Amino acid sequence: MPVSIREVAARAGVSLGTVSKVLNNSSGAQIATGTKERVRIAARELGYHPSAVARALVRKQTDTLGVIFPSFTSQSPIRGGFF
């Protein structure tokens, strides 16, 4: 099962918000260097990887392209073509 930021926060002894700010490199966050290092070490030890699905939900953008191709099977009314 994938590791969540809750587990990283528990291992590092910090809040979920702190983990989020550290892992997303939030520019306005004033977090002590030692705390940042603890969070990064905890994430590395637990094998944390950001969830692409969760990120897509937050961004409201999936970066997915759908393609639809016509089906030319024997049941298709245009099997023989138009010409």
First to last CA, the chain: 55
Question: In the prediction, which pLDDT does 13 show?
Answer: 97
Question: In the prediction, which pLDDT does 79 show?
Answer: 59
Question: In the prediction, which pLDDT does 36 show?
Answer: 95
Query: In terms of Cα–Cα distance, which of 44, 31, 35, 46 is closest to 13?
Result: 35
User: Residue 69 half-sphere exposure, CB side, CA atoms within 13 Å?
Assistant: 3
CATH code for position 8: 1.10.260.40
Question: In the prediction, which pLDDT does 46 show?
Answer: 97
- Domain of residue 1, residue span: 1-83
Report pTM.
Answer: 0.66
Number of domains in the chain: 1
pLDDT in tens, the chain (83 residues): 889 999 999 999 999 999 999 998 888 889 999 999 999 999 999 999 988 887 788 778 878 888 888 766 666 555 565 55
